[in-house]
Amino acid sequence: MRNLRALTIFALFVIFTLPLMPVQLVLRAVSTPAARAFPQWYHRQLCRLLGVRIHQQGRIAKDRPVLLIANHISWLDIPVFSAIAPVCFVAKSEVGAWPFISWLAKLQNTIFIDRAQRSATQESANEIIARLREGANVVIFAEGTSSDGNQVLPFRTSLFAAAIPRAGAAEPVHEDIYVQTAAIGYTHQQGLPLGRRGRPIIAWYGDMKIAGHAWQLLKRGPLDVHVRIGAPVSLDAFAGRKDLARFAEDQVRRAFAGILARHPGAKEDQPWEEGLFSLGDGNS
């Protein structure tokens, strides 16, 4: 039955996704706002198909573009964050060569970064800044890799080059751009809490192959994921990438610990629309 469940979901994914890819291609050519909004609608439907129930606290600001800084656990993080708001992602250059996945990534205007070359990193930083100036929300997974779901790894300061607009600049000049942090954690499967041993089963990390991991995950049943989004702060509030990295790592670590510990004082999330998504009221 588990194999049948996985096969059914995969077949529906293909049937649902393939016809929509040329739609997004057309939207990119004729309407930038629609091209940004369409992936959010698509990923909300995809989360429903996958049985991913999103519980959200805090909101991504709408009055300015947002640099969203988050931890990274699984390939599932992509549809989760995309379902929450119109976003594009910063990804390692290797993703741009993955069959099929690279097409989906490019349709969502993913920014590919070659971390092995310093000059390429600066070019990617300039692209991030340009995308933010155009009004897009950009997601950076600041650990530079994915974790086992039980911890937040140290943030890599090189990924925060967008805090400095050009090489050698003395100060940022982006008062019209917000920074927000986001902690993501997978908490339940089939309604049962995931403990320290269970969370790495959901995580995609190390040398895991994405196809095999996705197949095993589809067999396991519905998931609950919690996302806590911090309050918006102007990018100009940070002196540089190290300052921004320290702030973001501290905020994400605190929020992630809150997700796993479920502090008694934390506001409880409530399910949104058919129990598959939730929108919190605050930014705690």
Each residue's pLDDT tens digit, 249-258: 999 999 999 9
Closest by alpha carbon to 36, among 96, 142, 128, 110? 110
Q: Is the pLDDT of residue 265 over 80?
A: no
Task: Give residue 272's pLDDT.
Answer: 36
Query: Which residues are within 8 A (CB) of 221 and not within 5 positions of it... i.e. 6 or more apart?
Result: 5, 51, 189, 190
Question: What integer pLDDT is reported at residue 274 of this predicted model?
Answer: 34
Q: What is the mean pLDDT of residues 70-76?
A: 96
- The Cα–Cα gap between 258 and 266 comes to 8
Looking at residue 116, its pLDDT comes to: 64
Burial class (CB in 10 A: 0-12, 13-18, 19+), 241: buried
Please report, for the chain, the start and end positions of each structural domain, with discontinuous segments joined by +: 2-279
* pLDDT above 50: residue 280: no
d(CA 64, CA 231): 13
Give CA–CA dist 144/71, Å, rounded.
9
pLDDT in the model for residue 114: 77
Q: What is the mean pLDDT of residues 18-38?
A: 95
Share of the chain above pLDDT 90, in %: 66
Of the pLDDT bands very low, low, confident and very high (cuts 50, 70, 90), residue 230 is very high
Q: What is the pLDDT of residue 42?
A: 98
The number of angstroms, rounded, from the C-alpha of 230 to the middle of its chain's C-alpha atoms is: 14
pLDDT, average across residues 209-236:
93
Q: Which residue has the higher pLDDT, 49 or 94?
A: 49
pLDDT in tens, 164-182: 554 444 444 566 899 999 9
Q: What CATH topology corresponds to 2-279?
A: Glycerol-3-phosphate (1)-acyltransferase (3.40.1130)
DSSP 94: G
